[in-house]
Amino acid sequence: MQKATGNVIIDEAGHAVSIDAAPRGIPLKYQQLNETIHQAIDEGYKDITLKNVVGQRFIAAALSGDIRIKIYGTPGNDLGIFMDGPAIEVFGNCEDQCGNTMNGGKIIIHGAARDVAGLSARGGTIYVRGDGGYRCGVHIKQYMNKRPVLVFGGRVRQFFGEYMAGGLLVALGLEINEDGGFKKIDAFKITGASLGTGIHGGKIVLARGPDEVPCEYLGTGAKLTDLEEADHVELEAVLGDYCSAFHVDRGKVMSMQFCKVVPLSKRPFAHNYCSKML
């Protein structure tokens, strides 16, 4: 048996809660939904399911600890902003800025992610089965053992990895089905122009050969090159985890050719500034 308290349904084992984000077809305001989530956590629940989510913003903002959230619907802007530890799984698409300045944890998105996914992320993991929008991975950074990883199964738009200061971005350029089957997208559509503009740390990996990525797509301060042995080792681990999340054949993915975009220098815009202070 389940019991209902307002918009919260508690399962009979008492270990999880299910929250209706649009009871009787009327969406909760984002403040009310987030208050309900915090109330459930304060009561000791660590497994939370959100149903009928329709664009509510700031879900899981600044949450920390061993918390698992499943979302059915479309979360609004800034999903997981400032998050440090929880695991979120979205059965649908996300609006802008998911993982904004996240410090740790994991976000798995079974649909597409809109613009600026992972904005200024300092750690954690974001896996997207579908496409990414504009400026995904902008200004992500790393410090010591904090290193953000973002993987997009489909294509990404312009300014992928803009001003990137650390971490790992991956675009596979695939159409991945719900059952894990996939096919390759046309080579020149895997990424938009201005790729890695202003990059001065970290790397961007594309599931294409260097000759399949037009040079004019590269942004200021970025260069295209082959993967080294250490890159393959790292990619094997990252894509193994990614493929497990979406039931994709890891062997088939790893059999594809890859290249990477890395910084030309640590100061790509140094020529725009005075070399000496007077």
User: How big is the chain, counted in residues?
Assistant: 278
- pLDDT, residue 63, reads 97
Please report the DSSP string for 90-136 in residue order: EES-B-TTTTTT--EEEEEESS-B-TTTTTT--S-EEEESS-B-TTT
Tokens at 37, concatenated: 């989530």
Nearest to 152 by CA among 103, 107, 87, 216: 107
- pLDDT, residue 277, reads 46
Low-confidence ranges of the chain (pLDDT < 50): 12, 277-278
When the candidates are 2.60.40.10, 3.40.120.10, 2.160.20.60, 2.170.120.20, the CATH number that belongs to 112-272 is 2.160.20.60
Q: What is the pTM of this model?
A: 0.93
- pLDDT, residue 12, reads 45
Q: What are the sequence ranges of the domains in the chain?
A: 1-87, 112-272
pLDDT in tens, 105-147: 999 999 999 999 999 999 999 999 999 999 999 999 999 999 9
